[in-house]
A and B are shown apart, each in its own frame.
Chain A
Amino acid sequence: MTGTILQIENVSRVFPGVRGGAPVRALEPTNLQVAQNDFITILGPSGCGKSTLLRIVAGLDRPSGGRVLLNGREIKGPGADRGMVFQSYTLFPWLTIAENIAYGLREKGVPKSQRQDIVASYTEKVGLRGFENHYPKQLSGGMQQRTAIARALANDPEILLLDEPFGALDNQTRGLMQELLLGIWERERKTVLFVTHDIEEAIFLASRVVVMSARPGRIKADIPVDLPHPRHYTMKTTPEFSGLKAQLTEEIRVEALQAEGVH
């Protein structure tokens, strides 16, 4: 086990009430340690504050209390050291696929020839060769998210943050994307924080599944996934996988019921 890269210390988030309403506690004080090369999935029902937590790590939202440390330095705002993939399609529509992947490198001032090499290698890794000069609109949802992953990785971030990146994709595409992402992680050993509400996805990808409770969000369980690597999609039908799935389904079900106000 290598050292801790990301430390979430007592991070909470309270949204001010709208029009004199009561403030909303989206996130209870939360602690989480992420080790180098971990693949952590944060699993929870909608509205449990899991995206809020990820946005705080990304620096796109400020915690109401607590702090987040990346390699010991407190996070004050967004930066290139944390790559982010969003659920919505956020490729820049006026740039081609290659230009989108090169965006962060350009901002960093990486010289053009070097930029081209990096772009070529990531285009290859996400299987988009031949589409370099297409515009995002010409690509399917799955291809756009693959580009978004390549765009985040090309920046060589310390940690990759993904906020339900496959949530809008159909089931088959989602399965393929999970394998692609896992393949990249197995090869490059990035540190990944992945938010999802899909139990199977959470288990299949993770080395650790963090289960969050319904509003106000807090971490309810932290379950290691010791399934062997490299993982193949057939793993989803093994007894070990099913056992984990049953356990997590139970955890999540209670929370979902609570979130929906059913007791």
Chain B
Amino acid sequence: MPRPLEPVSQGTRVTLGISFFVLFVAAWAFATLGGFVSRTFLADPITMVQDGWLLLTRFGFLSDIGVTVWRVVGGFVLAALIAVPIGILMGAYKSFEAFLEPFVSFARYLPASAFVPLLILWAGIGEMQKLLVIFIGSVFQIILMVAVAVGNTRRDLVEAAYTLGSSDGGVVKRVLIPANAPEIAEILRLVLGWAWTYVIVAELIGSSSGIGHMIIDSQALLATGQMIFGIIIIGIIGLISDFLFKAVNRSLFAWRLA
């Protein structure tokens, strides 16, 4: 019997992780192929794979995937470029925080998806509108989380830097930022995951390309196999980007694991 908090080996971890995927697909296959769930509502795994193959080879789904990835990355990078510096300044300077924090906290709860109709009005149905949905959905989250991380920097490290002759700017540049860089990277990884949910919402309305658009099209055709395939693709891309992010963080911030 496993005991609480007892670690498992890497091999066991991978085996266990994969086995749940297998279990999940098996249950799905059993429910659909066994005839317990109507095909109209849920396609079986084999149909899903066939539909997916058709999408990729005949209907140019790859370019849809490309468009969606581009939108997520574009909106997210834009948000990160603006939010990370603001968050650092808020964390470092309490007056700046007092100035912005209430508004950002409020803005954070504005649902990005509710902005879609407004943004269509403002920016049309072009790429700008998609990017803006993701931007609005990510920017306030990143600001707030980065500000909290920087604000929680160990005081004794800051004091040590001052006694070693650091100026105020030096403390921000050479203590607050490097001390929190791993956490900021972790925040970005988390928010990137959320950005994926916003992009699909943006593509469900007023769009002519992208994974979300494909899903909406398939709904009209009752093609549940295609819809599920689209959803699974999003999951796989999410998994890959998460993995990449983690790998980059590990190599950039080796000191954390040392």
Taking the complex as formed, is B159 at the interface, i.e. its CB lies under 8 A from any CB of chain A?
A: yes
Q: For B179, list chain A residues within 8 Å (CB).
A: 92-94
Give the contacting residue for B160; candidates A77, A90, A94, A137; CB below 8 A: A90
Q: For B165, list chain A residues within 8 Å (CB).
A: 79-80, 104, 107-108, 155
Query: In the complex the two chains form, is A94's CB within 8 Å of B255's CB?
Result: yes
Q: Could you tell me how many residues of chain B have their Cβ less than 8 Å away from some Cβ of chain A?
A: 23
A39-47, A81-89, A239-247: which lies at the B interface? A81-89
For this complex, 30 residue pairs linking A to B, each with C-beta atoms less than 8 Å apart, are A58-B163, A59-B162, A60-B163, A77-B162, A78-B163, A79-B162, A79-B163, A80-B164, A80-B165, A82-B163, A83-B164, A84-B160, A84-B163, A86-B159, A86-B160, A88-B156, A92-B157, A93-B255, A94-B181, A94-B253, A94-B255, A103-B161, A103-B174, A107-B165, A107-B166, A135-B254, A135-B255, A135-B258, A152-B163, A155-B164
Taking the complex as formed, is B170 at the interface, i.e. its CB lies under 8 A from any CB of chain A?
A: yes
User: A residues bordering B, Cβ < 8 Å?
Assistant: 58-60, 77-80, 82-84, 86, 88, 90, 92-95, 103-104, 107-108, 134-135, 137-138, 151-152, 155, 161
Taking the complex as formed, is B178 at the interface, i.e. its CB lies under 8 A from any CB of chain A?
A: yes
Query: In the complex the two chains form, is B156's CB within 8 Å of A86's CB?
Result: yes
Instruction: Identify whether the interface residues of B are mostly helix, strand, loop, or mixed.
Output: helix
Q: For A94, list chain B residues within 8 Å (CB).
A: 178-179, 181, 253, 255
| CB proximity of A104 to chain B, nearest CB, Å | 4
Q: For A104, list chain B residues within 8 Å (CB).
A: 164-165
Known: A60-B163, A78-B162, A94-B178. 14 other contacts (CB 8 A): A78-B159, A79-B163, A84-B163, A86-B160, A88-B156, A90-B154, A92-B161, A92-B178, A103-B164, A103-B174, A104-B165, A134-B258, A135-B258, A138-B258
Taking the complex as formed, is B43 at the interface, i.e. its CB lies under 8 A from any CB of chain A?
A: no
- Count of A-B residue pairs with CB < 8 Å: 73
| CB proximity of A96 to chain B, nearest CB, Å | 8
Taking the complex as formed, is B175 at the interface, i.e. its CB lies under 8 A from any CB of chain A?
A: yes
Query: In the complex the two chains form, is B156's CB within 8 Å of A90's CB?
Result: yes
Q: For A151, list chain B residues within 8 Å (CB).
A: 164
Q: For B256, list chain A residues within 8 Å (CB).
A: 93
Query: In the complex the two chains form, is A107's CB within 8 Å of B156's CB?
Result: no
Give the contacting residue for A60; candidates B157, B162, B167, B170; CB below 8 A: B162
| CB proximity of A245 to chain B, nearest CB, Å | 32
Q: For A83, list chain B residues within 8 Å (CB).
A: 163-164
Question: Which among B161, B165, B181, B255 has the highest number of chain A CB atoms within 10 Å?
Answer: B165
A137 in contact with B156 given A58-B163, A78-B163, A108-B165 (CB within 8 Å): no
Q: For A161, list chain B residues within 8 Å (CB).
A: 163
Q: 1/0 per residue B126-166: CB within 8 Å of A?
A: 00000000000000000000000000001011011111111
Alpha-carbon gap, A93 to B181, bound state (A) = 12
Q: Which residue of B lies closest to A134 (CB)?
A: B258
Q: Which residue of B lies closest to A84 (CB)?
A: B163
| CB proximity of A90 to chain B, nearest CB, Å | 4
Q: Which residue of A lies closest to B163 (CB)?
A: A84
Q: For B157, list chain A residues within 8 Å (CB).
A: 90, 92
Q: Which residue of B lies closest to A154 (CB)?
A: B164
Query: In the complex the two chains form, is B258's CB within 8 Å of A107's CB?
Result: no
Q: 1/0 per residue B247-258: CB within 8 Å of A?
A: 000000111101
Query: In the complex the two chains form, is B255's CB within 8 Å of A137's CB?
Result: yes
Q: For A86, list chain B residues within 8 Å (CB).
A: 156, 159-160
Question: Which among A93, A152, A161 has the highest number of chain B CB atoms within 10 Å?
Answer: A93
Alpha-carbon gap, A92 to B158, bound state (A) = 10
| CB proximity of A89 to chain B, nearest CB, Å | 9
Alpha-carbon gap, A94 to B178, bound state (A) = 7
Q: Which residue of A lies closest to B170 (CB)?
A: A107
Q: For A107, list chain B residues within 8 Å (CB).
A: 164-167, 170, 174
